[in-house]
Chain A
Amino acid sequence: MTEETERRNHTLVVTVENKAGVLARVASLFARRAFNIKSLAVAPIDDEDLSRITIVVDGASAPLEQVVNQLNKLINVVHIQDLQPGHAVERELMLVTVTVEPDHRDDIVEKLDRAGGKVMSVGIDAMMLSLVGTPDRIDVFEEFLRPYGILDLQRTGRVALANLDEPID
């Protein structure tokens, strides 16, 4: 992801009431107003009445302020946080199954180790790997694997939290 697209993409962390149909309301708001969603991740949080939706919005599809204002009008939306690029810890999980010839195995496992990933499952001529990282590091790793032959791939979409005082990442 180039620096420019990263600037254009905004990460919104939307805290919503944990009720049926809320995700549909949020998603259909985006569809209705022609705002583009780049990535979406949803899960309950520690307070069981609430869920958190992490949305990466393509800022070129609409002014971010309008996206936030329209989201705020949804009655079930409790809080919206706009995480500026560089001011948040952002992570994504990738599960990938890749074809592995015997003489490529060491190369892949070494790269995976360095990236902090894990081998999840091994077959006769394929391996399933997992990697947690920033979306762009996962992009890089995905590109590295591609020539070997990706059989299956699933990414979670981005989750994010605002930095504490001292960013380590």
Chain B
Amino acid sequence: MKLDGGQALIRSLELEGVEVMFGLPGGAILPVYDPIIDSSIRHILVRHEQGAGHMAEGYAHATGRPGVAMVTSGPAATNIVTPLCDAYLDSVPMVVITGQVPTGAIGTDAFQECDTTGMTSGITKHNFLVTDAQDIPRTIKEAFHIATTGRPGPVLVDIPKDIVDPNNPNSAMEWFDNVEMDLPGYHPDTSVEPAAIQAAVALMQAAERPVLYVGGGILKARAAEALRELAELTGFHVVTTLMARGAFPDSHELCLGMPGMHGNFTAVTAMQESDLLIALGSRFDDRITGRLDGFAVDAKIIHVDIDPAELGKVRRPDVAIQGDCRVAIEAMVELLRVQGVGESDRQAWRSRISGWQERFPLTYDPSVPGEALKPQFVIEKLRDATPDDTIVASGVGQHQMWASQYWKFDHPYTWINSGGLGTMGFSIPAAIGAKVGCPDKTVWAIDGDGCFQMTAQELVTATVENIPIKVALLNNSYLGMVRQWQDMFYDERHSEVFLSKDVPDYKGWAEAMGCFALRVDDPDEVENAIAQANEVNDRPVVIDFRTEAREKVYPMVASGTTNSDLLVHPSQEDQPR
């Protein structure tokens, strides 16, 4: 069957099961947009290419299926670099298609030419520049295979205009139903070494102060159920990193919550004092370890990761298990059922943990009527007024940390955020992508005013495309996290962090974008506003919550210090540790 390259590209996407893609057309990709009219794929027209990338990420986070974005060449490609890097650092499966100038013009500095593959080679799992229409189906198949297998990640396919343009002879190609991939250097290995499992189980049996240190990889491996089985079988406590919130239910008695720079006292300290850390799909990020030479110095390490390059990259494991997290955990469970979980006395450890939990709960000063809202209070009210499988997408900064701390995540794939790259402006487009993937679920974006101003225009997309997300804007009129650091480490010299509380008029702006919008100043109005927002399901909602600018995220491990030097809320400073 004869097709042109553009038709072949769309058909290849359909065969990969793509139901939705996010994008914005332009000159170089124009020929591929034409066959979309006849395709089963839903295309969502964004207002900025960065939005397309984060929507694809949000879709992938929420559904587990690869997100797809398509944009044109040059500035469109540079605009989607941020989402690519974000997806790379958070291992999000994504396929991005970029238009490129015609093959004959490549290298001539043609209009809207940019070295897209060169620019993105360090921030994609892999990228392709396709130069022959006949290679399109195979390349698309390879792109999806690479994006979704092994350690997932973003793959970019750069397509010159002439090979997809039906008016150009270069685009003529012969369609075959079966194309073979040609990836001689790519062999992701999910199996695990039985001897390594045995060695890990022996360490687990001997441990007196074990902690399961769970990262985002557990979600990528769809291993939440297996994790629960392992935790319940062993009675070991679980910490869930920022990327893994929801992988283990917060309401479970063995759940300690989030560790790291803004983790809660018990999660941070249990890791720090443990004699065995069982790292599952987590990568000893510097935001988790604090100063490395003082991190969990007594702990032996079991490290499970699909990516061999993570094993020993930061901390040398005593037992390294390369392979799929779910396969590894199931093998551990099987062996532990036969051999038992060991005779070690862990009672003292459990008592210490419950002591820390009692003395150092997450806390903040209450909201006082007549004064600005406490952001933590708003998040708690929001949490209590929404279904427990609500998807929360956050931006980056103080509001992100409070959301992770004060929400109760009881289901996997309900927390979507930018962990590795820390991308401001992530939440609104990511929430849109999540809602597209899970239209029956309630999706709230928890955003800051700094983040909101970076990508708020995608609410136009949400309105026009009928994607009714809800946005809780925690508006403290500052770049809050930067201000917190200036407060603590720069003598309260607030250089260039004040944004203004009233400019823009967020309510007016949201209404102009077609949203239902409210402004809330008083603690007593919070519940009512959330109730009103919950009633609106035919368009996006924005609530401008006016929050307290002086509020800080506690606990905190300051940069350059160890996790033993954790700063707690001022009211807890005198508590014995």
Chains A and B come from one and the same complex:
yes
B121 adjacent to A24 (CB under 8 Å): yes
A24 adjacent to B185 (CB under 8 Å): no
Query: Is residue A5 within 8 Å, beta carbon to beta carbon, of the partner chain?
Result: no
The stretch from B305-313, B443-451, B465-473 touching chain A is B305-313
User: B118 — which chain A residues lie within 8 A by C-beta?
Assistant: 21, 24
A69 adjacent to B308 (CB under 8 Å): yes
B129 adjacent to A76 (CB under 8 Å): no
Query: Is residue A65 within 8 Å, beta carbon to beta carbon, of the partner chain?
Result: yes
> B94 to chain A: closest CB distance in Å?
16
User: A81 — which chain B residues lie within 8 A by C-beta?
Assistant: none
A74 vs B311: C-alpha distance when bound (angstroms):
17
Contact with B along A48-87 (1 / 0, CB 8 A): 0100000000000001011001101111111100000000
> Which A residues contact B (CB, under 8 angstroms)?
16-17, 20-21, 24-25, 28-29, 32, 49, 63, 65-66, 69-70, 72-79
- What number of B residues sit within 8 Å (CB to CB) of A? 18
B307 adjacent to A73 (CB under 8 Å): yes
A24 vs B126: C-alpha distance when bound (angstroms):
13
User: B183 — which chain A residues lie within 8 A by C-beta?
Assistant: 75
A15 vs B79: C-alpha distance when bound (angstroms):
34
Interface of chain B, main secondary structure: loop
Closest to B308 in A: A69
User: A70 — which chain B residues lie within 8 A by C-beta?
Assistant: 309
B185 adjacent to A77 (CB under 8 Å): yes
Pairs across A and B, CB under 8 Å, 12 listed:
A21-B129, A24-B118, A24-B121, A28-B121, A49-B184, A66-B309, A69-B308, A72-B309, A73-B307, A75-B125, A75-B183, A77-B185
A65 adjacent to B312 (CB under 8 Å): yes
> Which B residues contact A (CB, under 8 angstroms)?
117-118, 121-122, 125-126, 129, 146, 183-186, 307-309, 311-313
A70 vs B308: C-alpha distance when bound (angstroms):
9
User: A75 — which chain B residues lie within 8 A by C-beta?
Assistant: 125-126, 146, 183, 185-186
Closest to B124 in A: A75
> A109 to chain B: closest CB distance in Å?
47
User: A78 — which chain B residues lie within 8 A by C-beta?
Assistant: 184-185
Closest to A22 in B: B185
Q: A17-B185, A24-B121, A25-B121 are in contact. Are A72 and B313 (CB under 8 A)?
A: no
> A162 to chain B: closest CB distance in Å?
20
User: A73 — which chain B residues lie within 8 A by C-beta?
Assistant: 307, 309
Set B117, B125, B308: member contacting A72, Cβ < 8 A: B308
> A17 to chain B: closest CB distance in Å?
6
A32 adjacent to B312 (CB under 8 Å): no
> B130 to chain A: closest CB distance in Å?
12
User: A74 — which chain B residues lie within 8 A by C-beta?
Assistant: 126, 185
A69 adjacent to B185 (CB under 8 Å): no
Q: A17-B184, A24-B121, A78-B185 are in contact. Are A66 and B313 (CB under 8 A)?
A: yes
A66 vs B184: C-alpha distance when bound (angstroms):
22
> A74 to chain B: closest CB distance in Å?
7
User: A76 — which chain B residues lie within 8 A by C-beta?
Assistant: 185
A-B contacts besides A20-B129, A29-B122, A69-B311, 17 pairs, CB < 8 Å:
A17-B185, A21-B117, A21-B118, A21-B129, A24-B118, A25-B121, A28-B121, A66-B309, A66-B312, A66-B313, A69-B308, A69-B313, A72-B309, A73-B309, A75-B183, A75-B185, A78-B184
Q: Which 6 A-B pairs have the closest CB atoms?
A: A69-B309, A78-B185, A75-B126, A77-B185, A78-B184, A75-B186
A49 vs B312: C-alpha distance when bound (angstroms):
33
Residue with the highest number of chain B CB atoms closer than 10 Å, among A28, A75, A78, A79:
A75
User: B125 — which chain A residues lie within 8 A by C-beta?
Assistant: 75
Closest to A80 in B: B185
User: A20 — which chain B residues lie within 8 A by C-beta?
Assistant: 129
Q: A75-B185, A77-B185 are in contact. Are A32 and B122 (CB under 8 A)?
A: yes
User: A63 — which chain B residues lie within 8 A by C-beta?
Assistant: 312
A21 vs B184: C-alpha distance when bound (angstroms):
16
User: B312 — which chain A residues lie within 8 A by C-beta?
Assistant: 63, 65-66
A76 vs B308: C-alpha distance when bound (angstroms):
17
Closest to A70 in B: B309
> B456 to chain A: closest CB distance in Å?
33
